[in-house]
Structures are given as C-alpha cells and as structure tokens.
Amino acid sequence: MSDVRDSWRKPPMIANPVLRWVTILGIAAYIVWSVATLPIDWQRVAEGLVRAQRIFNGAIPPSFERSGLLIDGFLESLKIAILATFGGVLLSIPIAFMAAGNIAPRPIFYLGRAIIIIARSFHPVIVAIIFVKAVGFGPLAGVLTLIVYSIGFVAKMLAERIEEIDFGQVEAMRAAGASFLPTLWYAIFPQILPRQIGLTIYQLDSNLRASAVVGIVGAGGIGATLANAFGRYDYDFALAITMVIIGVILVSEAVSGQIRKRI
C-alpha cells in the first residue's frame, strides 16, 4: 500500500509564479498609492467624529410626534413606486422583445440594446437630478426616474429570458402558418410569464427602496421628508423616519420573497 496521500490542490489563477507575484504586488502598490494620494483632511475627519456623536445624541430617542407627516411621505413613496413599476414594466416588454437576438431583426436588436444600455448607464440619483431640473421638485420627477430605472433592469432580464426560450414551439407555430402576434401570444408569452411576474414583484420592492433615495434630491416621497428633517436638525425625527424605512423594507422583502416562492 502506497504512503502517498491522494489529495488535490486547487491550481492558482495565474500559473506563472513570477507573473502572479508581480500582479499581487502591483495591486498592493496601487492601493497604497491611491490611499496616499486621496485628498483626505484628517483634522476634518476628527471633527466629523465629534459631529457624528452630536447627531446620535440628538437622535436618541427617536421622535414619532409628527407621525402624520411621516405617513404622508410613505404613502407618496408607495404611489411613486407603484406607478413607476407599472409604467416601467409596461415599457420594458416591447423593449425586451426588441433586444432579444433570437426574435428581433439585427437593426431592431441594436436599437433595443441601446435603449437598455442608456437606461442602465446612470445611477437613479443622477437621473432624478436631471428630471428635477426638467419637471421640477415633486413626485412626478420620482416616477419618471424610477420608470427609467425599471426599464434598465426589467427589459434586460426579460430579453435574456426570451433568448433562452425553447424555440421549437416558435418554429412549430410558424410551420403551422401562424403570424407574428399569435406566435408571440401562444409560443413566447407562456414561457416568459413566470419570469415576468417575478421581475415585476422584485422591481416593485426595489422601486420602493429607491423612491426613498431619489426623494433626497427633490423627487418626492419619504426621502424628501427625511432630507427636510436633516435640514432642520430634527435628528430625532430623522431617526424615526429611518427606522420606519427599515421596517417597511423588511416587510416588503419578506412579502415579495414569499410571493416569488409561490410563482
């Protein structure tokens, strides 16, 4: 019986040891250089710690005295999230078909992909700033921002699902003489419907969270209430808003997770 142990070691990502160590040292040197060249004012950092302590001292205990204002902000965020999800998903469906390589002609495919790439290129806060400048402060800017945000995610995921469908059903419908719309309705939609429902629920959950963020730059909702609370140094009310945001997101996450499990 041999004494050699039968063992296996995972091979390194970079086989050449010299190249591997040069890469590791290069990354380490770049990180050190990046930290060393960042314009950090350590005196301001120290002062910031004192200010942070003052904020926490002012925030505890949280104040729920203006619960009416808090509820109004959340109801506005909920309206923004629902309207944006409805509009975003509705627009995402044709864009997804345009961006599916196995369905759309090549020029339409490139146009659909371009729309998705543009919608995904910017953070919702940047898009919210643009819409606030265009249509003014308020929930309309929030709805338009989250519609763009929804298209960037839902259209991309749905297009990928369409490209993964069993194309045999499509070919069978075409061989039977079916036109484009019946083929779409009977051969493609039944295959993508579960993913579509799952994406819609996920996006509603995501939009509810994002509506609180874009509200900080003036796009309405609970984010605007939170920004005003910080602006007035009402840290105890700001903490109450933050706690309710966390609670609502937790409930939303649990509900959407249960619904997705049952699809």
List, for residues 15-54, the tens digit of each pLDDT value.
888 898 999 999 999 999 988 888 878 788 888 888 888 8
- Spell out the alpha helix ranges (H) of the chain: 17-37, 42-59, 67-98, 106-121, 124-135, 139-150, 156-163, 167-175, 180-183, 189-214, 222-231, 235-262
Arithmetic mean of pLDDT over the chain:
84
Mean pLDDT, residues 239-262 taken together? 78
**Residue type at 62 in one-letter notation:** P
Q: Tokens for 230?
A: 């910080």
State how far the Cα of 150 lies from the Cα of 199, in Å rounded to an integer: 10
> Which residues lie below 8 Å from residue 85, measured CB to CB, with a gap of 6+?
146, 150, 200, 203, 204, 207
- Residue 218 has what pLDDT? 78
- Residue 81 has what pLDDT? 87
Residue with tokens 């627009």: 91
Between 122 and 148, whose confidence is greater?
Answer: 148
Examine the pLDDT at 5 and tell me if it is beyond 70.
Answer: no
